[in-house]
Chains A and B, each alone.
Chain A
Amino acid sequence: MLSLALPGTSWAHRLPVGLKFGALAAAMLGLTWLTAPLPLAAALAATAGLYLSLGRRAVAEGARALRPVLWIVAFIAAWQVWEGVPMLGLVLGLRICTMVALANFVTLVTPLPDLIALIERLARPLARFGLSPRLPALAIALVLRFIPVLRGRMELLALSWRARSRRRPGPRLIAPLALSLLDDSDHLADALRARGGLAPRPATPPQGRD
């Protein structure tokens, strides 16, 4: 399956996960605060610098993950220009790109189990209400995990369509996409259940036999 992950042991991977997400949250707040294009452009450049510090593969992954957003941004910017407020379009575009690129960066360099552990820690107060913190942790991690799968699935369906048709697929792929996602989620549920699912984990691990 495809996924938004960059395996490795770079400086960014080694940072504690709490710090990474804390910094991300602070940066998001800061970005909503900036309203002039120049500081925003500087923030975007700094974000690009983060990717560059990890090498070519990180840049390529980052660009690939940002591409769908660029379309939306281009659309919004064009709209603002049409409305006669090009500056607003520029500010919005820069802000969205920087935010998404930063969020992607943190996701790329955070191993999924670290993220699960973080959410589990944050959700610990829920235990008082009898809810296992493992539940929201796995749920959020799996949603993140499956965003790229969704995109991959769409591409596969489009390919299979094009192999048998001269027209472009368009919205007619939505129904098969939904069905195939239901199928995927069945498989995922089985895979999860086969390894203990969301049942509370045993307090003591099994003793090795061999």
Chain B
Amino acid sequence: MDGSIEIETLTLEREGTRIFDGLSLRIGERRVGVVGRNGSGKSTLLRAVAGLIAPQAGRLRVAGVDVARDRAGALSAVGILFQNPDHQIIFPTVIEELAFGLEQQGHPRGVARERARAMLARFGHADWEERLCHTLSQGQRQLVCLMAVLAMEPRWILFDEPFNSLDIPAALRIEARIAALAQNVMLITHDPARVAGYDRVIWIEAGRVAADGPPDAVLPAYVAAMQAAAQDEPC
């Protein structure tokens, strides 16, 4: 089965504002970066691909699943990491947070716990099992979110600015972890260097694709445009 993200003439409005108007994209690469200015629509795109917001018109499928309608199917097609881990964590303890998604996928409770434990062990954090999520650091909480998503084994994992508010070692660690993932990855960032080694970079500007292709083709133009914008708009 083809595991691509297929977006066809997508129209998406939020509270009356049109954010995408006839956007079409077909994404099948293993590593895909999304860049663009604040408010250009990157997070909205990611949320739509995760099936969290339904488009007004057009088609959006991930690995053949209509993610906005078929929520059960969407769980094994796509997982998302929000920009802020606190917006993602629902349960008080780490093990509950990891097991919840597995239960939602239909695994019995015992199996869900067992798998959650295995995931913690895989990342060398078996001792976090009974930790309260809110007593972990920002980087650690982000790792909890990543483990919770990985445990559900989706084909795609979407990251919304995963490097923000992390110190340099934590950011490098999460970058290495993302690089090691077997899954397809779509990642939003403001730092072009983070996606320089990716297979494809999509530059979004005001809800449209400004440039799309290999990083060598897209990133230099993007950086130049951002520098020009900085000179045009004094603070």
**Is there a chain A Cβ closer than 8 Å to B90's Cβ?**
yes
Residues of A close to B82: CB separation below 8 A: 187, 190-191, 194
Q: B158: nearest residue on chain A (CB-CB)?
A: A194
Binary A-proximity of B67-86 (CB < 8 A = 1, otherwise 0): 00001101110011010101
Q: Say if the beta carbon of A203 comes within 8 Å of chain B.
A: yes
Interface majority SS (helix, strand, loop, mixed), chain A: loop
For the complex formed, measure the closest distance between the CB of B161 and the CB atoms of chain A, giving whole angstroms: 16
The answer to whether residues A145 and B100 also contact, given A193-B52, A193-B71 and a CB cut-off of 8 A, is: no
CB contact between A7 and one of B101, B104, B109, B132 (< 8 Å): that residue: B132
Contacts of B47 in A (CB 8 A): 190
In the bound complex, CA of A83 to CA of B181 (Å): 70
A208 CA to B154 CA, complexed, in Å: 10
Q: In the assembled complex, how far is the CB of residue A93 from the closest CB belonging to chain B, in whole angstroms?
A: 30
Whole-angstrom CA separation of A194 from B104 in the bound complex: 10
Quick check: is A192 within 8 A (CB to CB) of the other chain? yes
Which residues of A from 157 to 210 have beta carbons under 8 Å from B?
A: 187-188, 190-197, 199-206, 208-210
Number of cross-chain contacts by CB at 8 Å: 101
Contacting residues of chain B (56-98) with chain A, CB-CB under 8 angstroms: 71-72, 74-76, 79-80, 82, 84, 86-93, 96
- Do residues B76 and A206 form an inter-chain contact, with CB atoms below 8 A? yes
0/1 string, A108-130, CB within 8 A of B gives 1: 00011100010000000000000
For B133, what are the chain A residues with a Cβ–Cβ distance below 8 Å? Answer: 1
- Inter-subunit contact A196/B134 (CB<8 Å): no
Q: Does B121 reach chain A (CB closer than 8 Å)?
A: no
- Give how many A residues have a beta carbon under 8 Å from the other chain's beta carbons: 35
- Knowing A201-B72, A210-B182, the reply to whether A196 touches B87 (Cβ < 8 A) is no
Given A111-B93, A190-B87, A210-B153; A195-B101 close (CB under 8 Å): yes
Which residue of chain A has the shortest Cβ distance to B130 in the bound complex? A7
Instruction: Given A111-B96, A201-B105, verify A195-B89 contact (CB < 8 Å).
Output: no
Residue pair A194, B50 in contact (C-beta under 8 Å): yes
Distance of A187 Cα from B30 Cα, bound (Å): 28
- Contacts A201-B104, A205-B106, A208-B153 known; A196 to B90 CB distance under 8 Å? no
Point out the residues of chain B lying under 8 angstroms from A34, CB to CB: none
A32 in the interface, Cβ–Cβ < 8 Å?
no
- With a cutoff of 8 Å between Cβ atoms, the chain B residues found around residue A2 in the complex are 134
State whether the Cβ of A16 lies closer than 8 Å to any Cβ in chain B. no
Which residue, of A4, A113, A204, has the highest number of chain B Cβ atoms within 10 A? Answer: A113
Compute how far the CA of A43 lies from the CA of B47 in the bound complex, rounded to whole angstroms: 52
| CB-defined contacts of B125 to chain A, threshold 8 Å | none
Q: Give the interface of B toward A (CB within 8 A).
A: 47, 50-52, 71-72, 74-76, 79-80, 82, 84, 86-93, 96, 99-107, 109, 111, 130-134, 148, 152-153, 182
User: Which 6 residue pairs of A and B lie closest in terms of their CB atoms, listed nearest first?
Assistant: A196-B104, A7-B130, A3-B92, A187-B87, A5-B92, A205-B106
Please give 16 more A-B residue pairs, beta carbons under 8 A apart, in addition to A3-B132, A190-B82.
A1-B86, A2-B134, A9-B130, A111-B96, A113-B99, A113-B100, A191-B89, A194-B79, A194-B80, A195-B101, A195-B104, A196-B74, A197-B71, A201-B104, A206-B76, A208-B153
Residues of A within 8 A of B (CB): 1-5, 7-9, 111-113, 117, 142, 145, 187-188, 190-197, 199-206, 208-210
